[in-house]
Amino acid sequence: MEEKQNSINEDWRKDVSDTSTATLKIQAGETKEVLFMSEGKPKNHPDFGESVLFEVNVKELDEDKIEQVLTKNFYVNKQNFSLLRQIKEIEKLTGTVVNISRVGEKKSDTRYTVEKVNKE
């Protein structure tokens, strides 16, 4: 009996290991500058469905208004061909800085755009 409980514990630990990083949230009308930390990998997410998961670094202000760089997960649904096409055009993602913008308030009218930032 004890062996079965250990396998259950190991299973749930495996299931939640990828969720330890917060999800990147962008409000309607907002643009965030992010640095891609990965090239993306397939991931089935309970909220976003079959997606491509990208790890990104984003600068945010904490409660004391101090800027900090946080690593967050950016999920793109595999059916979001428009956004995936924009990301694909960037080619090498790791180390690339982009602006991600959101327009629309509801799921049905939300659109994202990705634009590479030229840092010189």
pLDDT value at residue 21: 74
pLDDT value at residue 61: 82
Q: Is the per-residue pLDDT at 79 higher than 80?
A: yes
| Minimum mean pLDDT range among 13-17, 20-24, 66-70, 77-81 | 13-17
| Structural domain of 63 | 2-116
The domain that contains 73 carries what CATH number? 2.40.50
Tokens describing residue 77:
């649904």
Question: Mean pLDDT, to the nearest integer, of 92-96?
Answer: 95
45 — pLDDT class (breaks 50, 70, 90): confident
pLDDT digits 0-9 by tens, 19-39: 457 999 999 999 999 999 999
Helix (H, G, I), strand (E, B) or coil at 98: strand
pLDDT value at residue 107: 77
Whole-prediction pTM: 0.77
The closest alpha carbon to 57, from 69, 66, 65, 68, belongs to 69
The closest alpha carbon to 20, from 73, 75, 69, belongs to 73
Measured from the Cβ of residue 2, the count of other Cβ atoms closer than 10 Å reads 5
Tokens describing residue 95:
């180390």
Q: Is the per-residue pLDDT at 111 higher than 90?
A: yes
Q: How many domains does the chain have?
A: 1
